[in-house]
Amino acid sequence: MLKIRSEILSVLALALIWAGLMGGLAPAPAQAEGWTYNKAAFARFLKSMRNRAIRRGVSRGVVDAAFRNLRPDPEVLNLANFQPEFKLTAWAYLDKTVSDVRIANGKKNYAAQRKLLDALEARYGVPKRYIVAIWGLESRYGQRKGDIPVIQALATLGFTGKRKRFGRSQLIAALKILQRRDISLSKFTGSWAGAMGHTQFIPTTYNAYAVDWTGDGTRDIWNSVPDALASTARYLKVSGWRKGAPWGEEVKIPRNFNTRRAGIKKRKPRRVSEWIRLGVRPFGGGSFRAKKRGAWLILPSGRRGPAFLVYRNFRAIMRYNNSVKYALAVSHLGDRIIGRPDFRGKWPRTGTPLMLAGRKELQIYLTKLGLYSGEIDGAVGRETEKAIRKFQRAKGLKPDAYPSVELLNRLKSGA
């Protein structure tokens, strides 16, 4: 939000494998920026992972066949450094993921798979539109399931970069998939992160929750739409999906609202009744239906953009991909597939928003100018907003307290 069959190799074959790893039987891939491939170090890493996999019950034959002539893929590292959930603004991400084409194709697949989806909703309690939405976001309804060899991707991540722990645990899980002969090595492909099939399960999630809906003895999320969608529905259920409850709703916040109260990472949600006391209201007027329900307030683009109260089902979607933007896209795409309208709040499409490091820098410059005396934590709350407005008024700017790149540049020149 985060997816072999072989005979025991002879001693001679093993020697050839490790000679290949050390001596380079395959052409060297292009280097990722800032990284140099060390053949000896990668061979040591694979030997360590081989021993670990065997201790976890994977046969030597399976491991050795999977690791034969294996090289790290620098393109995996390049892709890992650009994840749209973390690089794009909320509105740019939604423009990309909840496009007119994806909505239209979602409606077609929703209709085409209606009988299956009805059965899945009855079994797992997850509305069919959100099952289809995840399918749409993860692989464009099966059009882009990924063609990177899973073992190569996970070995690359486990060997170097910021995701070593993830890569190593997923590599062991992937070898177990091959051990069970769920799929052959030649067809074992997925994304740069090892996510696989129609709905992009990572190997540990596949091992724990994938479903053989067709009853043919194989949990085939690569080729079987029923198996893939059933696996997704089951995973949402075990992730805490509450039958009959919404994911959230668009709301309005008062002008002087303390935005530090917003955020999905807060351990406990506030009751809707408490949000009402703080001035939060449904966007279209009226009243909230369940005032005792726990909810988090999210502001995907800050005070200037749409605001949402989200419930536990939204958190269940985030188990799939731990990103507010992703969960919002799944929720919104699912609703648009059944004909519900677009969000009514307007996105602040002018001004480039700051990421966490930039917001901290903003606070540092506000402090240098004597406008801010709080903690340098990158959280734009009431005191930071007050300081921004002071600076904006002094410079004749609109006092909207929006922490943009352009504002930071003005602050730097002012300091």
**Domains within the chain, CATH numbers bracketed:** 4-71+154-183 (no CATH), 248-310 (no CATH), 356-414 (1.10.101)
Strand partners, 310: 248, 296
In whole angstroms, what is the distance from residue 396 CA to residue 388 CA?
12
SS3 state of residue 29: coil
pLDDT along the chain (415 residues), means of 10: 35 32 35 68 97 97 97 91 74 95 98 98 98 98 96 96 94 97 96 97 98 96 98 98 96 90 87 96 90 94 92 96 95 98 92 85 94 90 88 87 89 81
In whole angstroms, what is the distance from residue 36 CA to residue 39 CA?
10
Q: How confident is the model at residue 415, as a pLDDT?
A: 65
Which residues, in sequence order, are CB contacts of 220 under 8 Å at separation 6+? 182, 183, 212, 214, 227, 228
Are residues 348 and 402 in contact, defined by beta-carbon separation less than 8 angstroms?
yes
Tell me the two tokens of residue 349: 């499409």
In whole angstroms, what is the distance from residue 131 CA to residue 109 CA?
11
- Buried b / exposed e across 246-258, counting CB within 10 Å, b at 16+? bbbbebbbeeebe
pTM over 0.95: no
In whole angstroms, what is the distance from residue 163 CA to residue 177 CA?
21
In whole angstroms, what is the distance from residue 303 CA to residue 307 CA?
8
Mind giving me the DSSP string for 268-283? SPEEHHHHHHTT-EET
Mind giving me the DSSP string for 35-58? ----HHHHHHHHHHHHHHHHHTT-
Give CA separation, 171 vs 20, 46, 177, 186, in Å.
20, 11, 10, 16
In whole angstroms, what is the distance from residue 236 CA to residue 178 CA?
25
